[in-house]
Amino acid sequence: MSLQTETVVPDTTQVERHGYLFGHPIAHSMSPLLHQTVYDGLGLKWSQFPLDSLDMDLFLRLREDPNFYGASVTMPHKIAILKHLDQLTPEGASVGAVNTLFIRQDLQTGRRVYWGTNTDVIGIRDSFYQNISDPDACFHGRPGLVIGGGGAARSAVYALRTWMKASKIYLVNRDRSEVKAVIDECTARGYGDSLVDVATIEQAQQLEGVGAIVACVPNFPPKTAEEIEARGVLETILTKEHKGAILEMCYHPSPWTEIAEISQKAGWNVILGTEAMIYQGFEQDKYWTGRDVSEMPVQKVHQVIAAKLSEARL
């Protein structure tokens, strides 16, 4: 647990409306930059401020400000925030974790209603649909594959199952208990059917080729026997005849990872994790501003995020 004691509350008086990025640690987050680029493009005098804090009570007080429009909620608050919300969207309820707080007004009472949603699932979905010209040929009706066992893996299962027409979903991970936890939780929430734990290279050799892969693991070379086996499972699947698209969710410190390199060499279409970050951010701004993505400076946001990543690598 962090030794952080006192939170610095940002000065929000210079803008008409403000939101927060609430989490800890958040120093590397590009969320405020992304949203500022959107607001500037829309001509709004709005800003999202970093609130690097473990203090939920502080955040709950700050959200009462009449000029507060909502928040990006990140670790470690994505589940803890649930009990402080009035309503959840289907995505927020199904994933069981919220990364976005937005506000609506009760027409009867005039009271603020605090809503939570999960836009990570939209970021995953839109990364594929915005980058793949023929989803039917690439991944519709084929098995999907998710690498990892955390919150992002659950979001990937939801996106593949709900929108991307995956016939079944293979789960690849070094830890069998994590895979079981994903299967149990997704089943309890209603979208866990046809999840398959692929534990060995021999098992992978027998499987039908996949169309969409979502990699949700840090960019470390495999070292333990379990990690080496999991990487072997992935490589076995990448070498099958059908070549689809892989979304590499890891983008810090660099979006070009070992998995991205291996996948590209095997003939796969690689989608960088910044795409998921950008499209989940656009979805957040839809809730906050009421504007459609078609009205937002999509190309400018891509340029700004790419420039920030290049700068970080210098």
Domain boundaries, given as residue ranges, for the chain: 17-118, 122-274
User: How high is the pLDDT of residue 306?
Assistant: 92
CB atoms under 10 Å from CB of 5, counted, come to 7
- Report the pLDDT value the prediction gives residue 313, as an integer from 0 to 100: 65
Query: Do 99 and 70 form a contact (C-beta atoms < 8 A)?
Result: no
Against a cut of 0.75, is the pTM above it?
A: yes
Any long-range contacts for 150-153 (C-beta under 8 Å, 24+ apart)?
A: 150/178, 150/216, 151/78, 151/95, 151/97, 151/120, 152/120, 152/214, 152/216, 152/249, 153/182, 153/214, 153/216
pLDDT of residue 70: 98
**In the prediction, which pLDDT does 251 show?**
86
Average confidence score pLDDT of the chain: 95
Q: Are 272 and 252 in contact (CB under 8 A)?
A: no
pLDDT value for 64: 97
Q: Is 243 a catalytic residue?
A: no
Is there a shared CATH topology between the 17-118 domain and the 122-274 domain?
yes
Please identify every stretch of the chain with a pLDDT value under 70, giving residue numbers as ranges.
1-5, 312-314
Catalytic-labelled residue, pool 78, 165, 223, 286? 78
What pLDDT was estimated at residue 63? Answer: 98
Strand, coil or helix: what is 262? helix
Class of domain 17-118: alpha beta
Tell me 276's DSSP state.
H
Report pLDDT for 314: 55
The reported pLDDT for the residue numbered 4 is 53
R_g over Cα of the chain: 20
Whether the ω angle into residue 218 lies within 30 degrees of 0, i.e. cis, is no
Q: Hey, which CATH number is domain 122-274, 3.40.190.10, 3.40.50.1000, 3.40.50.720, 3.20.20.70?
A: 3.40.50.720
